[in-house]
Amino acid sequence: MFVSPAFAENATAASAQSKTTTATQAGHSGPEAFPPFDSTYFPSALLWLAITFIAFYIFVKRVVVPQIGGVLENRREKIASDLRNAGRMKEEADAAIAAYEQELAAARAHAGEIGQKARDEAKIAAEAERRKIEASLEDKLARAEKRIAEIRASAMKDVGAVAEQTASLIVEKLTGGQSSKAEIAAALSSVRE
């Protein structure tokens, strides 16, 4: 250290002198101890350091640390409780969403059920209607067929009489003579056979 030779030089001279010089005045009065190594003031420095440092330590321990520690602890607690609240609210929101989803699914299922039922009912009704119409149509058809058969039968019955008349007229025109009814009927029935 660059101060040590100076110190070594001064220390001997100063140690004798310092008690007198420093008591009267400190400053410019020839060579004296390098102040940081001047042991005259060591007891004073130690005493006042002890007093101030211990006082500061007690103040820090009793007042400062609980105060700032309390502030920081409060903040941590506040943040933690806020986070807890946020978590709780999120859970509530999730539950609400789940309930909504569930209800929506139930409603959808219900709607499907109603639709299916309506479709089934409509189908059944349509089927019944179709059957009824079919039945009535068949009925009408049967009656129509029956009537056609009757008309045809009666028409066929008249054909004989018309043919005899027509045949006698044709014979009369062609031959100019009369022909007996019985002859014509026999001829016709032989043709018709």
Partner 1 sequence: MAADKVDPIHQFHIHTLVPIHIGGYDFSFTNYALFMVIVVVIAGGGLYWACVSRSVVPGRAQSVAEILYEFSASMLRDSAGAEGMRFFPFILTLFMFTLVANLIGMFPYFPTVTSQIVVTVALALLVFFMVLIAGLMRHGLHFFKLFVPSGIPIVVLPLVVAIEIISFLTRPVSHSVRLFANMLAGHITIKVFAGFVFSLGTLGALGVAGAILPMIMVIGLTALEILIAALQAYVFAMLACIYINDAIHPGH
User: Interface with partner 1 by CB under 8 A: which residues?
Assistant: 1, 3, 22-23, 25-28, 34-38, 40-50, 52-53, 55-57, 59-61, 63-65, 67-72, 74-75, 78
Is the CB of 3 or the CB of 98 nearer to partner 1?
3
Q: How far is the CB of 81 from partner 1 (least distance, A)?
A: 12
Which three-class secondary structure state does DSSP give residue 128?
Answer: helix
Q: How far is the CB of 12 from partner 1 (least distance, A)?
A: 18
Is the CB of 18 or the CB of 184 nearer to partner 1?
18
Is the CB of 78 or the CB of 147 nearer to partner 1?
78
Q: How far is the CB of 88 from partner 1 (least distance, A)?
A: 21
The Cα angle at residue 46 between residues 45 and 48, in degrees rounded to 5: 65
Contact status, residue 186 vs residue 164, Cβ threshold 8 Å: no
Measured between alpha carbons, how far is 191 from 161 in angstroms, rounded to an integer?
14
Determine phi and psi for 60, rounding to 5 degrees. Answer: -65, -45
Is the CB of 60 or the CB of 126 nearer to partner 1?
60
Q: How far is the CB of 78 from partner 1 (least distance, A)?
A: 6
Measured between alpha carbons, how far is 19 from 41 in angstroms, rounded to an integer?
10
Is the CB of 75 or the CB of 119 nearer to partner 1?
75
Q: How far is the CB of 86 from partner 1 (least distance, A)?
A: 17
Q: How far is CA 22 from the centre of its chain?
A: 89
Distances (CA, A) of 128 to 70, 99, 115, 124, 139: 86, 43, 20, 6, 16
